[in-house]
Amino acid sequence: MTLRVLLADDHAMFRSGMRAVLETQPDLHCVAEVGDGHEAVAETARLRPDVAVLDVRMPKLDGLAATETILSTPGNVTRVLVLTTYDTDDYVYRALRAGASGFLLKSLPPEEMTSAIRVAARGDALIDPSVTRRLIARFTTSIEPPVVPPEVERLTSREREVLLLLADARSNAEIAALLHVGEETVKTHVSRVLAKLDLRDRVHAVVYAHLNGLTGHRSPGSRAPDARLP
């Protein structure tokens, strides 16, 4: 299957270079290039690509606002990757809160960029564990401990473990190894967690767990400190 990709960046040279990279891949096809956030929103709605790659800094509407608009549109099917030249906590946090499937630096090698597009198209999270841990540290020192949401009670004990490992930036393979189950079983648990908590995807699950104070619970292999889950 060929994945359809939209590129949004106000630098024409970067867009052209990225498009050239995409077109070398047999399973990737660039359906449009745009130069600002408004165009990104409009063309995404018109073309419904599998993945939209948006630069943070664009005229008229920045990439984070465009991401939020795209992902809040009823019936949207497009995953969003946010690109920037700056690795800052504020950008990462805003991108994830907006619902982006990943936050990537423009300095990434081409093969990692194309791999990221495939990961996003599958609906998987693309979050560097070191960035996630840094954000957790920031959250735990800057916000009051929230009340655990009542819907968490709907999760089984195993589903809670899976949620916490997702929040710890673990892959399906890592979760499977830590819980001594198969990857298909992990995928089933992840799907149930998303459904029960009404979450879009794995990235949304990560943000949800962090913002609701769930990451203090120590699950198998977790790097987080003591429990807050009921």
Residue ranges of domains in the chain, CATH in brackets: 3-126 (3.40.50.2300), 133-211 (3.40.50.2300)
pLDDT band at 6 (very low <50, low <70, confident <90, very high): very high
In tens, the pLDDT along 124-138 reads: 656 554 555 555 555
Identity at 171, one-letter amino acid code: S
- Output 72 or 94, whichever has higher pLDDT: 72
- Output 27 or 204, whichever has higher pLDDT: 27
**4 pLDDT more than 90:** yes
**Is the distance from CB of 2 to CB of 27 less than 8 angstroms?**
yes
**112 pLDDT more than 90:** no
pTM, two decimal places: 0.66
Residue 126 has a pLDDT of: 60
Residues facing 8 on adjacent strands: 34, 54
Q: Where are the alpha helices (DSSP H) in the chain?
A: 12-22, 37-47, 63-71, 89-98, 110-121, 129-142, 157-167, 172-179, 183-197, 202-211
